[in-house]
Amino acid sequence: MRCCVPGCGQRSKKGISFHRFPLRDQNRSQLWIDQIHAYLEKHNCEHERLKKNTKSVLCSNHFLNSDYVITVSCRILKDSAYPSVFSCDPRKKKIYKLRSKTLASRLRYILPKMEIVELECTKNISYIQDSVLEEVIKEARIEESMIKKSTVEEPIVEITLESFLENLNKNKFTGCLSLIEEVLKLQEKIAVLEKLLFELKSCNRSVICENDHCYASTPRSLQRKLHFSQAKVIMMKEQKRNIIKKFRRSTMKVLQLQNLMKSMEKKDR
């Protein structure tokens, strides 16, 4: 936000407020414009210097303290207020900071020409020295990397291949054997459960009551045990299927690894 009064250009700052032109009240808005035009005429400036639009604002420096109604939280501009303080000069030119200029153009105003030439020469010499040093360092790094690749990387690759082949030869069937053992254990458990189910189904209620000496094992509790064992058998069968699938996948992996080993051995020969 910036004040539109020519020569002022006040930006937002602590303690300064901005006010837009009262566009709804045409008479009041025209009074504000007339005050600015009178200020421009006083300094022999044209009215076109005022570049006004719907978003143009005036800062509080152009109003008197009596133009405000002071409250606890803020101060409000009165409806009858108009700009009457113009302490700035619309004819003054903008002063550009030296930061926008380059180093060489700034030095021309301070140092003589001979010193500037000497500075530029020293800069060029330091730049050349830096470039030469960078090239030497790059060449040294390239030579070191070539030495490392030729002396270190090749034996490491050979060692890793040999260790990989040894591990394959040692452990190619360990996963398959563990899966086979799990399948056999599950088959034994399923056989025991199926035998128990057959015995429970073949027994009548009268036989169970005659041979039963425990009051807790009633026909209802035995029926619950039967349902539980049936559910357990179904679960064990599902586990068996999953383990068989894993066994097939592992056998396929072993075959692929064996083919890879054969192809690598052929390449080595």
* HEC per residue, 14-32: CCCCEEECCCCCHHHHHHH
**pLDDT band per the 50, 70, 90 thresholds, residue 184:** confident
The span from the CA of 179 to the CA of 251, in Å, is 10
pTM score over 0.75: no
Q: pLDDT tens-digit profile of 192-210?
A: 777 777 766 666 555 555 5
As to burial, measured by CB atoms within 10 angstroms (0-12 exposed, 13-18 middle, 19+ buried), residue 60 is buried
Mean pLDDT of 237-250: 83
Q: By the 8 A CB rule, do 68 and 75 touch?
A: yes
Q: What is the pLDDT of residue 147?
A: 46
The span from the CA of 48 to the CA of 7, in Å, is 13
Mean pLDDT of 81-90: 86
* Two structure tokens written together for 138: 């790059």
Q: pLDDT tens-digit profile of 7-36?
A: 888 888 888 889 989 888 889 999 998 998
The span from the CA of 60 to the CA of 77, in Å, is 9
Q: Which residue has the higher pLDDT, 260 or 132?
A: 260
Q: What is the pLDDT of residue 165?
A: 57
Q: What is the pLDDT of residue 105?
A: 55
**pLDDT band per the 50, 70, 90 thresholds, residue 220:** confident
In the DSSP assignment, the letter for residue 2 is B
The span from the CA of 62 to the CA of 82, in Å, is 9
**pLDDT band per the 50, 70, 90 thresholds, residue 132:** low
**Tokens 């020293």 — which residue?**
122
The angle at the Cα of 201, spanning 200 to 205, to the nearest 5 degrees, equals 75
Q: pLDDT tens-digit profile of 223-242?
A: 777 788 778 888 888 888 88
Mean pLDDT of 57-62: 90
Q: Which residue has the higher pLDDT, 186 or 161?
A: 186
Residue 16, number of CB atoms within 10 A of its CB:
13
Q: What is the pLDDT of residue 154?
A: 43
Q: What is the pLDDT of residue 155?
A: 44
Given a cut of 80, whether residue 243 has pLDDT beyond it is yes
